[in-house]
Structure 1
Amino acid sequence: MQTRPTTIAAAALAAVTLLLSGCGGSDGEDSGKDGIAGADTGAKSSTSPSPTTTDDGIDRPEVSLPEGDSLAFAPETTGDAKADAVLKDNAEYLRAIDEAIGKQDPKSEAVAFYSKDAAYLGSVEWISGFVKDGVTVTGTVRYFDRKVTFSKDGSAGLVYCADESKGYTKDVKTGEVNVTQASKDSYVLYNDRLRKNDKGVWQTTKSTSERGSEVCQP
Structure 2
Amino acid sequence: MNPRSRLLATVAVGASAVLLLTACGGGGDKPKANDKIAGADTGGETSATPETSATVSGGRPTIKFPSDARNVFEGRKTGDSKKDAVLADNAERINSIDDAIFQGRVNTEALGFYSAQGALDSARTFVKGYLDDDRSWTGTTRYFDRQVTFRPDGSAVVVYCSDESKSFLKSRKTNKREKTPTSADSYVLYNTKLVKNSDGVWQTTNVISKRGADQCQP
User: TM-score scaled to structure 1, two decimals?
Assistant: 0.80
What are the within-5 Å matches in structure 2 for residues 13-52 of structure 1?
13=30, 17-18=32-33, 20=35, 52=56
Q: Tell me how far apart the structure 1 counterparts of residues 55 and 147 of structure 2 sit (CA, whole Å).
A: 28
Q: Tell me how far apart the structure 2 counterparts of residues 208 and 164 of structure 1 sit (CA, whole Å).
A: 17
Contact 1:19 1:130 in 2 (8 A): no
Q: Tell me how far apart the structure 2 counterparts of residues 21 and 70 of structure 1 sit (CA, whole Å).
A: 12
Name the counterpart of 1:158.
Answer: 158
1:208 matched to 2:208? The reply is yes
How far has the Cα of 1:108 moved from its partner? 1.3
Name the counterpart of 2:61.
Answer: 61
The structure 1 segments of at least 4 consecutive aligned residues displaced by more than 6 Å after TM superposition are none
Name the counterpart of 2:142.
Answer: 142
Point out where structure 1 has 5 or more consecutive residues left out of the alignment.
23-49
Contact 1:4 1:97 in 2 (8 A): no
Q: Deviations over 1:59-105 (max 9, x none)?
A: 10001113311101110111100000000001011111111101111
1:89 matched to 2:104? The reply is no
Q: Tell me how far apart the structure 2 counterparts of residues 205 and 173 of structure 1 sit (CA, whole Å).
A: 33
1:170 matched to 2:170? The reply is yes
Q: Tell me how far apart the structure 2 counterparts of residues 165 and 21 of structure 1 sit (CA, whole Å).
A: 10
Secondary structure of the equivalent of 2:113? helix
Q: Tell me how far apart the structure 2 counterparts of residues 87 and 164 of structure 1 sit (CA, whole Å).
A: 19
What are the within-5 Å matches in structure 2 for residues 57-136 of structure 1?
58-136=58-136
Q: 1:18 to 1:107 in 2, by over 3 A?
A: farther
Name the counterpart of 1:6.
Answer: 8
How far has the Cα of 1:18 moved from its partner? 2.9
Q: Tell me how far apart the structure 2 counterparts of residues 192 and 155 of structure 1 sit (CA, whole Å).
A: 10
Identity %: 42
Q: For 1:213, give the aligned amino acid.
A: A
Q: Deviations over 1:124-172 (max 9, x none)?
A: 0000011011111110100000000000100000001000001111111
Secondary structure of the equivalent of 1:93? helix
Q: For 1:20, give the aligned amino acid.
A: D
Point out where structure 2 has 5 or more consecutive residues left out of the alignment.
10-25, 38-53
User: TM-score scaled to structure 2, two decimals?
Assistant: 0.80
Name the counterpart of 1:26.
Answer: none
